[in-house]
Structure 1
Amino acid sequence: MIRPTTSAPFPPSSPNEPAAPAARSAETLLANSPAPERAQGFSLALELLRNKLGQETFASWIAPMQLLAVDGHVAVLALPSRFMAEWVRNHFQDQIRQALEATLAGIADVRIEATGPRPIEAEAVAAPGDAAAAGAPLSASFEPRYSFDSFVVGKSNELAYNAAQTMAAAVGHGVSAGFNPLFLHGPTGLGKTHLMHAIGQSVRARLPRARIAYLSAERFMVDFLAALRARDTISFKQRLRSCDLLMIDDVQFIAGKDSTQEEFFHTMNEIIGAGRWLVISADRSPQNLEGIESRIQSRLAWGLVADINPADYELRLNILKTKLAAIPAARVPDSVVEFLARRIIANVRELEGALNRVIAYSNLTGRAVDVDFAREVLADVLRAHARRLTIDDIQRRVAEHYRLKLGDLLSPRRARDVARPRQVAMYLAKQLTPRSLPEIGRRFGGRDHTTVMHAVKRIEALRATDSELDRDINMLRRALDS
C-alpha cells in the first residue's frame, strides 16, 4: 500500500552523522519501497490517466507504458518504440507527471524512454520479401488483471462473456466456434477491452507460439499510414494477415478514412478466409457505425454480434467487491461500497476509477474512508453523475421518514416532532442542492433565510453529539443518493 510520507528527516545512522535533509525523505522512501507498493501506485496512476484521457487515447499510447525505475525524484517510464516515446513525451508528459505525483510519494518529474519495438507495434518489422521474418511469431502485450477470472458477469454482459470464452477455446483447435468474427459493442468503459485481453491471455497460455495481434483501430491507421509513407505496405500486410488471432479495438475510429477502411476490409477477408480468428470491438452495433462502408458493416455483422449494456446496481456492487478482494490491505466499509455502486452509474471503468481514487487519497492523507470522505474526494465525479435533486424530493423523503404529512414541514407549527424534521430537510436542501438560503426558505412556507441558516448550523452541531440524528441523516442521504 502507498503510505503518506512526512517531511521529517530520517534519524542519523550514527551520533556523528547528521540527519538526511528533509527534502530527501520522500525520495528515499520511494526508492526503498517494496516493488508491489510501487506497482500499485503506478497502477493507480494509470487509472487516473485512463479517466482523464479517455479509453481510446489511453489504449493507444499510455497502456503500453511501464515503470522502469525510480531515479531520485524522477520516475523513469518505458514505451516499446522511439516513435511512441516521443509522441507521449510531446503530448502527455504533464498529465503523466501529475498522476504519478498523486499516487507515488516523492515523484516530482518523469522521464520517458524507448525500450525497443515490439513486433506488432513496430513501424517496420520485416523487410519486404523477407518471408522468414514476416512469418515470425507476433507479440502482443496483455494486462494480466484483465482475465476471464476477474471479469464479473451479470445479465448485461453474460452473452459477450460466453462468446469471448467460446472464441478463446476455439482458436488453434481446428474447430468452429459457430461464428467468426466476434463483434463486441457497447458504450465505453463496460468491459469490451477487458474481454479482448482475456481472450488473448487465454489463447497465449494454451498456445504460447500462437501469432496474436491486438491493437486499437487508431493504431491500425497510424501504422498503415506510416507504411504508405515509407512505401512498405507489404510487411504491414504480412504481419497482420498471418495472425492466428487478430483483435482490433474501437473500430469506429476508422470512420471516414477511406484508404484505411480499404485495407481493413481486405485484412478481415484474408483472416476469415484463411480460417483464422478475428475479434472486433466498437461503441455501437455494426449497422450504427456511421462513416463505415456498408461492405465492412455487413462483414462485421456476419459473425456473432454481442452487446454489453450498462451494469445494474447488483453488478456494480459485485464489481466493487471483487476489486476490493484483490486489495486486502484496503479498508473500505460496505457503506462506501454501496454509496459508489449507487452513484457511479455511467460505466465500470469510472466506477473502478472512483474506488481507486478513494483508496489512493486515503493512503496519501492517512484519513479513514467513510461516506463523507468519499463524497469529498469524488465531488467532481458525483456532480457529473448526479440526478437533478430537488427540494421537493427532499421534503417528501424527510416527511416519509418521520411519518409526517408534507404540509407539516411547510406549516408554521413549532412542535419539536415537526420542527426537528423541518430543520433536517432544510439542512439536506442546503447540502444536496445548489439552491440559495432565501430560495430554500421560500420553499418551506415562506421562511426567512436566517431561519434556514440557523437550521443548518443547529443540525451540524447536533450530528456531533446525537448519534440517532446522525444515523437518520445518513440514512436519508443514502435514500436520496439512490
Structure 2
Amino acid sequence: MTQADGQTGLSDAGRAWSRVRANLRLSAGARLFDQWLAPMSLVEPCDGEDVRLALPSAFMTDWVRNHYAERLVHEFRALLPRVRSVAIETRRATPAPEVLAIAVPAPAAARPVAAAAPLLDLVAATPAGAARAAAPEPASLVERPQLDPRYTFERFVADPSNRVALNAARALAEPGPVRFSPLFIHGGTGQGKSHLMHAIGHAFLDARPDARVLCMSAERFMFDFVAAMRARDTHAFKSRLRGCDLLLIDDLQFIAGKDATQEEFFHTINEIMAAGKRLVISADRAPQALDGVETRILGRMSAGLVADVKGSTLELRRAVLAQRLAELPDAVVPAEVVDMIACRIASSIREVEGALNRVVAYASLTGEVIDLGFAQSVLGDTLRGAQRRVTIDEIQKLVSEHFDIKQIDLLSARRARAVARPRQIAMYLAKRMTTRSLPEIGRKFGGRDHSTVIHAVRRIEELRDTDRDVDGAVRTLIHQLEA
C-alpha cells in the first residue's frame, strides 16, 4: 500500500468505484443516476478481480442487472483490467449505505430530463448542512417526475377547444387546499393532454419544491408493477406511488383488460384520494367510453372533474405555429407555408409541430430557402396522408356502410333517428378531418345551411362525452379513415 492509499484508506476497487460512479452520473444523467445507481454500494473487502455491488431492494437490483450489468463490467475493466466479474446483489442493511457518504457534485440545472428515464426519478433530499450518511434510506429519497421542460402552461396555446381543460389544470396545480381530485383529461392523440399533465407537474413543483410528484404512463405503471411482483418487492413499489403529493397517470386506456394491474391501480388511486392528495388521469376517451376498465375505477374518475381536449381548430393550429416560430428567430418561414401546414395537417397538434420542425430542419441542412414548393416537397408523405382524409364522399360512404344505410340517405331530408344521427356524425367528421368550409360541407349534404352543420358538430361533441356508442362509432370511423 502506498502512502496515498494509507491516507485515503481506499482499496484499488474503492478508488475505481468512485471513478465509475462519477462516469455513470455523467453518462446516465443526474436524475436516472440518483434514482437507480446512487444507492448502490461497493461490498468490501474486494480482491480487485471479483467486484460485488449491493442495492437496498430486490426491485432496484433487478432493474440495474437488466440495464447496467455489462456497462458496470466495462467501466471497472477500463480502470482495473484484472476485473473478471461484477456481481449485483441485494442487501437490506439498516444503516444508510456507504455510497450516500460519497460526495458527487450535482448539476446546476433544475429538474433535468433524462433521455431514457425509468419509472421513478429519485434524488437524495437531505436537509441543508446535514450529513448524507445521517439520513435514513430509503425514506430520504424524494420522488422527482420525468417532466418535459417544453411542456409548461406558458407554452400551451389556449383555444375554446381546450380552455376548460387548461383552466382545470391550472386550478389543480395551485398550492393550498385541493379543490377537486381527480382531474380526468381526455381527447385525441396529439391534442395536448400530455402537455397539460406535465405543465401541472411543473407548476406544482414551482409552488412546492419539496413535494413528491410522479408522472408515468399507465403502461409504465403496469410494466413496473409486474417487475415488482417478479422481484417480490411490491411494498417498495406501492409506497413510492402512494406517498405522492401529486400523481400523474397518462393514457389510462392501456390498462384495459389487465385485471391484476387494475386491482393495484384501484387501491393506489383510492389511497391517494382518501388522503386528500392530487391525482390527474388522462385517456383518449371519456370515462364512460373506456371499455375493459373496471366500473369502480371509472366511478372514481367520474367523481372528480372530467375535462376534454377537443380536436384542434384551424385557428388553434395557426396560433401554435406562430408561437413555435417565435421560438425559432433564425427561421424564415413565409405565411403561405404556415397556412398550408395549418390547413392540410389537421389530425393533431403534434403532427403540425412536427411538420414545421421538419421543414425548418431540412432548410438548415440543405441551405435552401423555405417557400411553398420546398415545404410541399419536404412534407410530401405527410401531406399525401392528410390529403387521403379530406374527401367528404369517402366519409359519407364509410358512415353509410358503418350504420347500414344508403349513402343517398345522408343527403336526403329524412329526419328519422336512424338517418339523422349518422348524418350528424358524417358532418362532424367532415368538419374535423377536411379543410372544407361550413357552407361547402352543407352543400355536400343535400344543400343544407352552414348552421345545420354547426348544430351537428356541437351535438356530436356533446354526445361523445356522454354516449359510449356514439363515441365508439366516431373513433372507429376516424381510425378507418386515417388508415
TM-score of the two chains, using structure 2 as the length reference: 0.55
Q: 1:309 to 1:116 in 2, by over 3 A?
A: closer
Which residue does the alignment assign to 2:477?
none
- Structure-2 separation of matches of 1:343 and 1:308: 20
- Structure-2 separation of matches of 1:362 and 1:379: 15
Q: What does 1:192-341 align with in structure 2 at a 5 Å threshold?
A: 192-341=193-342
- Structure-2 separation of matches of 1:273 and 1:364: 54
Given that residues 134 and 238 in structure 1 are in contact (C-alpha distance below 8 angstroms), is that contact kept between their aligned partners in structure 2?
no
Where 1:307 maps in the other structure, the secondary structure is strand
- Structure-2 separation of matches of 1:284 and 1:260: 20
Q: What does 1:146-165 align with in structure 2 at a 5 Å threshold?
A: 146-165=151-170
Q: 1:77 to 1:202 in 2, by over 3 A?
A: closer
2:185 is aligned with 1:184:
yes
Q: CA deviation at 1:131?
A: 8.1
Which residue does the alignment assign to 1:105?
none
Which residue does the alignment assign to 2:481?
none
Given that residues 135 and 239 in structure 1 are in contact (C-alpha distance below 8 angstroms), is that contact kept between their aligned partners in structure 2?
no
Q: Which has the higher contact order (CA 8 A, sep 6+)?
A: 1
Q: CA deviation at 1:206?
A: 1.2
- Structure-2 separation of matches of 1:307 and 1:322: 23
Q: 1:388 to 1:243 in 2, by over 3 A?
A: closer
Where 1:138 maps in the other structure, the secondary structure is strand
Given that residues 156 and 308 in structure 1 are in contact (C-alpha distance below 8 angstroms), is that contact kept between their aligned partners in structure 2?
yes
Given that residues 224 and 233 in structure 1 are in contact (C-alpha distance below 8 angstroms), is that contact kept between their aligned partners in structure 2?
yes
Which residue identity lines up with residue 167 of structure 1 in the other structure?
L
Which residue does the alignment assign to 2:120?
120
Q: CA deviation at 1:141?
A: 2.5
- Structure-2 separation of matches of 1:230 and 1:262: 19
Deviations 1:261-289 (A, max 9, x none): 00000000000000100000000111111
Given that residues 134 and 235 in structure 1 are in contact (C-alpha distance below 8 angstroms), is that contact kept between their aligned partners in structure 2?
no
Which residue identity lines up with residue 296 of structure 2 in the other structure?
R
- Structure-2 separation of matches of 1:267 and 1:226: 17
Deviations 1:403-462 (A, max 9, x none): xxxxxxxxxxxxxxxxxxxxxxxxxxxxxxxxxxxxxxxxxxxxxxxxxxxxxxxxxxxx
Where 1:137 maps in the other structure, the secondary structure is strand
- Structure-2 separation of matches of 1:377 and 1:134: 52
- Structure-1 separation of matches of 2:64 and 2:251: 19
Q: What does 1:377-416 align with in structure 2 at a 5 Å threshold?
A: 377-387=378-388
Q: CA deviation at 1:387?
A: 4.7
Structure 2: segments with no counterpart, 5+ residues: 1-25, 38-62, 69-113, 123-134, 394-483
Structure 1: segments with no counterpart, 5+ residues: 1-67, 70-75, 89-113, 123-129, 393-482
- Structure-2 separation of matches of 1:131 and 1:286: 41
Given that residues 287 and 302 in structure 2 are in contact (C-alpha distance below 8 angstroms), is that contact kept between their aligned partners in structure 1?
yes
RMSD (CA atoms): 3.3
Which residue identity lines up with residue 159 of structure 2 in the other structure?
G
Given that residues 79 and 85 in structure 1 are in contact (C-alpha distance below 8 angstroms), is that contact kept between their aligned partners in structure 2?
no
- Structure-1 separation of matches of 2:390 and 2:222: 44
Which residue does the alignment assign to 1:167?
172
- Structure-1 separation of matches of 2:115 and 2:386: 40
Which residue does the alignment assign to 2:141?
136
Given that residues 31 and 121 in structure 2 are in contact (C-alpha distance below 8 angstroms), is that contact kept between their aligned partners in structure 1?
no
- Structure-2 separation of matches of 1:116 and 1:380: 29
Given that residues 184 and 192 in structure 1 are in contact (C-alpha distance below 8 angstroms), is that contact kept between their aligned partners in structure 2?
yes
Q: CA deviation at 1:133?
A: 1.8
Q: What is the percent sequence identity of the aligned residues?
A: 51
Detail structure 1 runs of 4+ shifted over 6 Å in the superposition: 76-79, 84-88, 114-119
- Structure-2 separation of matches of 1:246 and 1:388: 37
Which residue does the alignment assign to 1:347?
348
- Structure-1 separation of matches of 2:213 and 2:298: 24
Where 1:279 maps in the other structure, the secondary structure is strand
Deviations 1:330-354 (A, max 9, x none): 1111111111010110000000000
- Structure-2 separation of matches of 1:385 and 1:85: 45
Q: CA deviation at 1:382?
A: 0.6
Q: 1:166 to 1:367 in 2, by over 3 A?
A: same
- Structure-2 separation of matches of 1:267 and 1:193: 21
- Structure-2 separation of matches of 1:375 and 1:79: 41
TM-score of the two chains, using structure 1 as the length reference: 0.55
- Structure-2 separation of matches of 1:205 and 1:197: 12
- Structure-2 separation of matches of 1:336 and 1:345: 15
The number of aligned residues is: 287
